[in-house]
Amino acid sequence: MSIRKRFYLLFVFTIVVPLVLIGWISYEFSTNIYRDQISSHMLDTLDAIDLNVNATLSEVESFTEYVATSPSVYNYLTTEEWPSSLEKVNNESTISRLVFNNQNTFDFFILSKDNDPLYFLAAPEERFHDLEGSVFFEEVTKRRGGPYWIGPASEDLIEENSTFFTVGRSIIDPRTLEELGHFVLLVKPDILNPTTTLGSNSDSEWLIINEDDRVIHQSDPDKLTGPVDTRSLINTEGIYTDSDGREFLYAKESTFQDWTLVSMKSMESVNNILIPVRLFTIGIIVALFLLLVLFHRMFSQRLILFINTFNKGMTEAAGGDLNVRMEHYKEKEFTTLTTSFNDMVSQLRDMIKKVEEEQNKKQEAEFKVLQHQINPHFLYNTLESVNALASLQKTKEVQHLVTNLGKLLRISLKGPYEIELQEEIKHVCSYLEIQKIRHLNRFDYDVDVDQDVQNNNVLKLILQPIVENSIEHGKKHNSFNHISIQAKRKKNRIVMHVTDNGPGFTEDILLQLNNRHESSFTGIGLLNVHDRIRMYYSGNSGLIICSTEGKTTIQITIPIKGEV
């Protein structure tokens, strides 16, 4: 696949697709915020409606209590024989005027145990299937003077499409506390008109559901089509769907007399509120997309052209045409690359002419790699000792160790590859001091260096890996407790011996060393030291290992410069 196609795919999957996803997520997030705000507003509206409903119906209850305890009603229920029919008619007229003084009164009737019911428009049997056997009458009687309401949709009513509310209460004799009768008031349906107006101002539909899951009032019956699934409204939360498939966002709360107050808002109106958010989100996405396309035209296309040109030049150079040149560009970054390419081709031409010199440089570079490999190995083990002492909180030992560590680092990190033998001896002594502290002085050491070789130069860091090997393999055996280091001159060479009384090498390990395998050793190993010496001093130098059970001697041979 060409880089152009890859770039287009990268543009689509890393910019276009994430941009669309971010836009969609932002829209959904904003939508949820708006819906939460709408739901919160609906609950606030419900609280206001609930207060209004409670206030209105409580006012009617207070009026029914006033009527039920009035002298006219009491006389009507307690008088067995009236002095005259005129007095009875006057008392009944007084009751009627009293009841209809309330503007919300539609009709009423008073039930007496001994007399016929008193009513105005229609007798109880014309409004109720069986008043005294109804749930309404049972609840009114049970409450002993307390009010009880039913709505227009009650099963006790004969008229299926009635619109009035009905409230009843028992009339109790204040002296004997006996039940004298019942007062039932039919309330006009427009009693909740002010509350309905409050709901319409919030652009929402609200309704009241009684304890039998029946709708007893709707602010706007035309908004919801078909019968309302009240069980779904009571038992679920969130979205309601009517018989026409229209969705409504709704909220609910308990209200007067254990009824449920439900506020509903059509999702169509909710979505209309969200249209500006949707258009704004789409506008942002389109604007960003156009900016990215413009960026692609102005920069990406030129970048692709440069890459193709650069690739062509590299192909020609790889094919052996080292006379290829690339032109300069206005862009600083492109110019840097083309200049580097032209310089690289020129250098390659020069390098081909200096093959022998480059081979020597390569050998030196390989030596540098081996040299740098030793430093991390040495530092790792030294820091391990520091950590061990610090964990034991041995201050003096830590001070002694840090002092020796400073000496080690000064020798390890400074100067050329070679140092004087006496400096190398100081280095390995510092290392041994650290290891003695680390291993609780379980071993000692001695150093014997001839005076006439102390100032001769040797490769640095050749003794430390060898004594490290002695310690690491000897510490596992009780017999190990001593390391000896000697350095003498033999003709034109320096010969050093590192001897320990550890377990010694087995025949298998010696065979592996002869075959140049390091699988039995950790870190750099003895072969690394041998390779460094051989690479730096060429022939007649390196390591010789002599080992028997309980004793190992490693001989290091280094030629003295100027006397070879």
Read off the pLDDT of residues 153-169 as tens digits, 9 standing for 90 and up.
788 888 777 788 999 99
Q: Quick check: is 291 in a domain?
A: no
Residue 472 shares a structural domain with residue 404: yes
Q: Quick check: is 464 in a domain?
A: yes
Q: Quick check: is 90 in a domain?
A: no
Residue 382 shares a structural domain with residue 351: no
**Domain coverage including residue 503:** 376-559
pTM reported for the whole predicted model: 0.46
Residue 390 shares a structural domain with residue 527: yes
Residue 342 shares a structural domain with residue 439: no
Residue 347 shares a structural domain with residue 495: no
Q: Quick check: is 35 in a domain?
A: no
Which of 371, 403, 438 lies at the terminal end of a domain, its last residue? 371
Q: Quick check: is 400 in a domain?
A: yes
Q: Where residue 369 falls among pLDDT bands split at 50, 70, 90? A: very low
Q: Quick check: is 431 in a domain?
A: yes
Residue 534 shares a structural domain with residue 419: yes
Residue 428 shares a structural domain with residue 446: yes
More confident site: 436 or 307: 436
Q: Quick check: is 281 in a domain?
A: no
Residue 336 shares a structural domain with residue 439: no
How far, in Å, CA of 322 to CA of 345, rounded? 6
Q: Where residue 358 falls among pLDDT bands split at 50, 70, 90? A: low
Which of 351, 371, 391 lies at the terminal end of a domain, its last residue? 371
Q: Which residue has the tokens 């014997």?
A: 448
Residue 348 shares a structural domain with residue 445: no
pLDDT digits (tens, 9 = 90+) for 263-310: 888 777 777 777 777 788 788 878 877 877 777 666 666 777 777 787
pLDDT digits (tens, 9 = 90+) for 494-532: 999 999 998 888 888 877 776 765 444 433 468 888 888
Angle between helical axes of 526-537 and 464-474 (0-180°, round to 10): 160
- Could you tell me what percent of the chain has a pLDDT over 90? 18
Position 366, amino acid: E
479 phi, psi to nearest 5 deg:
-70, -20
Q: Where residue 465 falls among pLDDT bands split at 50, 70, 90? A: confident
Residue 345 shares a structural domain with residue 406: no
CATH of the domain at 510: 3.30.565.10
Which element (helix H / strand E) includes 420?
Answer: strand 418-420
Residue 339 shares a structural domain with residue 467: no
More confident site: 378 or 504: 504
Q: Quick check: is 422 in a domain?
A: yes
How far, in Å, CA of 485 to CA of 481, rounded? 14
- Number of domains comprising the chain: 2
Residue 463 shares a structural domain with residue 553: yes
Residues 6+ apart with CB under 8 A from 325: 342, 345
